[in-house]
Every structure is written in structure tokens, then in C-alpha cells.
Chain A
Amino acid sequence: MTGVSKAPRRAEGRRSLRADGLGLLFCAVMAFPVYWMVLTAIRPAAEIRSNPPRFWTSEPTLEHVRRAMASETFWSSVRASVLVGTGTVVVSLLIGVLAAYAVARFSFAGRRAFVLVILSVQMIPLAGLIIPLYLLLSDAGLTDSLTGVILTYLVFMLPFTVWLLRGFVAGIPIELEEAAMVDGCTRAGAFRRVTLPLLAPGLVATSIYSLVQAWNEYVLAYVLLSSNDKQTVSIWLVSFQTSFGTDYGALMAGATLTALPVVVFFMIVQRRVAAGLAAGAVKG
């Protein structure tokens, strides 16, 4: 008996060792561009141009990072991006949480249609909407204003927020609200005192996720914002590209600076967002 069961186990072990090797190789290949970006950002300029390339550096330097940060519009673009991101998140959360609550807790005529619209809106390619959005905002005198950008970002942020929060609300047992109402709370009171505190992690996850989206968006900001002091980080990075040409050290430093906050935030909330999306997908 033991002899029989041992052989497959050893084969199993060998197979999982091979799988592990493959998995690590995959990690190395996937992570290489990120590694190369950071390495280029922190190595001396002479090393960047070495041929054959070297895959580590013995003398890291912050020279490129300093140069990137010293670029005229860096801090103003960070400021613009933070403002746009925060504005979008606040507006979409304020109105999105209401709709999410309605969809998760009420059954009403038109609920299904509403959900379908929320879902299909996410399919519309943004590129197709740039022209009319631009015309709309230029009619309203909101081109070259951060408010205008915030409004347009609602197009893709709001449906997503509603969908994600709906999953989080559905995850909170309705019995808790009912108990509060039996104890004399109004429905709004039960929402404020019971559901909202429990929803906090979901709200945080959703807002960080949206913040990341706003931070990364390029085309709309590029079309809508023309003054230098209102450009967002994506625009900064691209204009950096053209003005610095092939100064890849500074460029990769800029890329690293742009990516860093996003990657850190995203890694923090990713699990929660995935859970919320899964909860959202299960119940239509």
C-alpha cells in the first residue's frame, strides 16, 4: 500500500516543483519592465547607455528623480490630479451610494432596467464621447477648468461606483437595519447609524479605486485642460516625454513617481475591490 501511494506523491512533488519554477519565471518576466523602470530611474546616466546592458547597479543615485521633480509643472500637476481625483470621488460617492442602496435594498419597477444601463454604460468607449463632451463643456464655459474634468470623469466613475457599492451594501445583513428600525430608528436613521459605518471599508476601497482611475486618465484631461498649471500627472508625463526626448533616466524617474502612489494604494485595496466585484457579479 505504502509503496503504491509513495510513487505518485513523489511525482506530485516533482510536478509542483516544475510548476513553481514556471511560476517564478512568469513573475520575473512580468515584473521585469517595472524593475527596469525603477533601475533606470536610480542608476547613473553613464550606466543607462552601457552596452551590453547591466541588470543591477552598484551606485544608486537620486539625480534623475530630482531632475524630474524640478520640472516646472510637476507639483502643479500633482495638485491638479489630487484635486480632480478627490472631486470626482466625493461627487460619485455622494450620489452613487444612494443609488447603490436603492438597488441593493428595494425592489421597484425599473430596477432591472437601471442595472442594465449601469452595466452597459461601462462598455461605451470613452474615445467616442470626447467630441460631444468637449462641445458640451465649451458651451457651459467649463473647458480648461478642473470642474469640467471632474464632471466628465463621472461618466465612467459613477456607474462603476454604483455597481461596486451595491455589492458591498448587499453584503451587510439586512437584519441589522431591521433591528434598528424595530428599536425605533427611521429608515434613514438605520442607514446612517448601522449601514453606513459597516459600509466604511467598502467606501474606502471604492474611493481609492476611483482615485486611481482618475489619476491614470489621459485623453479627456488632455483635450479639456490647456493651461500649464492645470494639467494632470498623465499629461505631465507625456509632455515630459516630448521635452526630454531620449533622456530615459529622467523619463523613467517621472514614470516611477507617477506610478508609485497608484501601485501602493491599489495593492492595499485590491482584495476588497475584487470581493466587492464578485459580490456584485453574483446578484444581478
Chain B
Amino acid sequence: MVTADPPGRRAVSPGPSPAVSTRRAGTGGRPLLRRAAPYLLIAPTVLALTAVLGYPLVELVLLSFQDMSRRELFAGTEPPWTGLKQYRAIAQDRFFWQVVGRTALFATVCTALTMAAALAVALLMRRVSPWVRATMAAVLVAVWAMPVMVAASVFRWLADADYGVANWLLGLLPGLDFTKHNWFEDPWQGFAVIVAVVFWGSLPFAAITLQAALTQVPPELAEAARVDGAGRGQVFRHITFPVVKPAFVMVTTLNAIWNFGVFNQIWLMRSGQPEKEYYLLGVYSFIESFAVNRYSAGAAIAVVTVVLLLAGAVFYVRQLVRMGETR
């Protein structure tokens, strides 16, 4: 691996960035152009991001203060301004708060499950024989690569009422009859299936990242602690976990953000027509906009979602910056 080594070596010395040494090595030339060079290089990226991201973001916020319907969309006319009407409407809507609570609960459950399992798997991977570790890594990568829509289709089949394996397996347990059991009749059970597919899909990334972080734990340190009489739990708490903590926090935050925005799995499992009990914020905003054609209401919901997520994003970026500074 050509790429893995040098950055690691560089990272140890937090001294001057490489640019300083090049500038010294540079052979004269036009200083103005040289100073402008990095800006010219990032200009296309900045332009592209402004166009496809910055502008839509602004547009989204503006839209949430207007009242856009199908008529304005097709006529191309400016929709009327309505101020805070959309926000007032959703703030008074009990259903909206129900969806917010449901989304938060969903994201928390998925993230907690994923992170707990990922940590256990990562620790397990440090203890197994090399060939088992290679097998586990291969399986994890294969699952990681599965397209979301494929995963959702497969889980739908596993939970099928008539011939699904899940019903058969649960029916083997004494006292349970799951013949022709429809998992999606009761939203709690339906969400159990959705949580399962989300969990299955997000476990690999978390486990692989944590496993990589665990390789950074110096074995001598754990050994020394053990010699000094520390139990396995103590070694984990005081030696192992502090080392992997930055990676753990980062993956947790990322996962929470992704789970907060889950859309595809629900969309597919409910055949593109989710019942109201299956609405999460992403689905709700989408349906308000594209099924009911209340674009502004959808935009207001999206803005609230983004703002809620911003808290998480700030936390994540701060963590990344801190990691960059301390190493």
C-alpha cells in the first residue's frame, strides 16, 4: 500500500505544511500567479458546489417562507410570500411532532444497535485466527457494497408473509405461530424489519472502521496493564476504549446522521406508498412535496430536519478537527 505509509509518517510531525518547503524550492517566477494558484485550483469545485448545493440550500429556505403549489411550478411564476405560515402550521401540527419523535427514536435505536454490535464485532476480530478474520472482513465488505434497494428487497422477501424465512424460523420456537404472519400490519413490527435492514447495512462500515482503530492500541500497554493485575473489563475501559474513542464518536455521529435521514428502505418496503404510521421526516417531507404538491410545506419540514441535523454535524466536524490537531 503506497498510500498508507507516508501520511502516517508525516502526521507525526505537525510542523510546517508541505507547501512551505515547496515555496522555498520554487524557482522564482511570477509571485502573483503563484499566490493565486491554489485559488484557481479550487475555483471549479467552489463554483460547482455553489451552483448545485449553495443555491438550492438558499432556495430551500426561501421556499419554506412561500406557498408554492403545482400552479406556480408549471407557470414558472413567483409563488406568494407567506412569511412564517408554513412553520406555524407544522409547529401546531401534532402529527408533525409525532413524526419528529418517531424519527429520533428510530435513529437512536438503529445507531445504538449498530455501534454496540460493531464494537463487539471489532473486538472479536482482534481475537480470532487470521483466516477467520479475513473471512469476516470479506463478508463485511460484501455486505457493505450491497445497494440499499437490493438489501431492502431481500429483507422484504425474508419477512414475506407466505414463504418468508423469518416466519418459518420464528415458528420453530415453542409456543409461537408465525404462519402467514404479516410483519407490516403493526408498524412496530414493520419498523423492526426496517431497523434490521438498516442495521445490517450500516454494521460493516462501523465494524471495519472500529477494527482499524483497534489496531492502533499498543499491545504492550494492554499487556502491562494485565501484568499489573487489571481485569479484562478494566483493560478495555482504561486502555482500549480511550484509543478508539475518536473513531467511535465519529462513526456514531455519522451513523446517527444517516439514520435520521433514512428514506429508501421505508420507501421500498412500503412499495412507494408508505402509510402514515411509517412516516419519518425524510419520507414526510418528500410526500408533502411530490405526492401532495405542497412544495413549501415539504421545504419547511426539510429545513427543520437540516437544522436538527446541524447540531450533529457541528459535533462531527469539531471532532474531526480536533483529531487533526491532536495527532
A residues adjacent to B (C-beta < 8 A): 15-16, 19-20, 22-24, 26-27, 30-31, 33-34, 36-37, 40, 48-53, 94-96, 98-99, 101-108, 110-111, 114, 116-117, 119-121, 123-133, 135-136, 138-139, 151-152, 154-155, 158-159, 162, 167-168, 170-174, 177-178, 181-182, 187, 198, 201-202, 212, 215-216, 218-219, 223, 234, 237-238, 241-242, 246, 248, 251-252, 254-255, 258-259, 262-263, 265-267, 270-272, 274-276, 278-279, 281-284
Given contacts A128-B60, A167-B7, A274-B208, contact A281 B320 (CB under 8 A): yes
How large, as a class, is the contact surface on chain B?
35 or more
B residues adjacent to A (C-beta < 8 A): 1-8, 10-11, 17-22, 25-27, 35, 37-39, 41-42, 44-46, 48-49, 52-53, 55-57, 59-60, 63, 73, 76, 121, 124-125, 127-129, 132-133, 135-136, 138-151, 153-155, 157-158, 160, 162-163, 165, 168, 200, 203, 208, 212, 257, 260-261, 263-264, 267-268, 271-272, 281-282, 285-286, 289-290, 295, 298-299, 302-303, 305-306, 309-310, 312-313, 316-317, 320-321, 323-325, 327
Of chain A, the residue at the smallest CB distance from B5 is: A171
The 4 A-B residue pairs whose C-beta atoms are closest, nearest first, are: A284-B324, A266-B145, A125-B261, A102-B41
Q: Return 13 A-B CB contacts under 8 Å, by A number.
A: A16-B128, A22-B124, A95-B45, A108-B35, A127-B282, A127-B302, A159-B49, A174-B22, A212-B145, A216-B149, A254-B153, A258-B150, A270-B141
Partner of B63, one of A40, A119, A131, A262: A131
Residues B128 and A128 in contact, CB atoms below 8 Å apart? no
Residues A31 and B139 in contact, CB atoms below 8 Å apart? yes
Partner of B261, one of A126, A155, A259, A271: A126
Of chain B, the residue at the smallest CB distance from A216 is: B147
Residues B289 and A130 in contact, CB atoms below 8 Å apart? yes
Of chain B, the residue at the smallest CB distance from A248 is: B157
List A contacts of B76 (CB < 8 A). 139
Residues A219 and B263 in contact, CB atoms below 8 Å apart? yes
B245 to chain A, nearest CB (A): 14
List A contacts of B158 (CB < 8 A). 33, 36
List B contacts of A252 (CB < 8 A). 153-154, 157
> What's the dominant secondary structure at chain B's contact region?
helix
Of chain A, the residue at the smallest CB distance from B285 is: A127
Residues A132 and B63 in contact, CB atoms below 8 Å apart? yes
Given contacts A99-B42, A158-B49, contact A248 B160 (CB under 8 A): yes
List A contacts of B59 (CB < 8 A). 132, 135-136
Of chain B, the residue at the smallest CB distance from A267 is: B141
Given contacts A16-B129, A51-B168, A123-B316, contact A128 B6 (CB under 8 A): no
Given contacts A248-B163, A283-B324, contact A96 B45 (CB under 8 A): yes
CA distance A93 to B233 in the complex (A): 47
List A contacts of B55 (CB < 8 A). 132, 136
Residues B306 and A33 in contact, CB atoms below 8 Å apart? no
Partner of B148, one of A15, A162, A216, A271: A216
Q: Known contacts A95-B48, A171-B7, A282-B7; can you find 4 more A-B pairs with CB under 8 A?
A: A16-B129, A102-B41, A132-B299, A170-B10
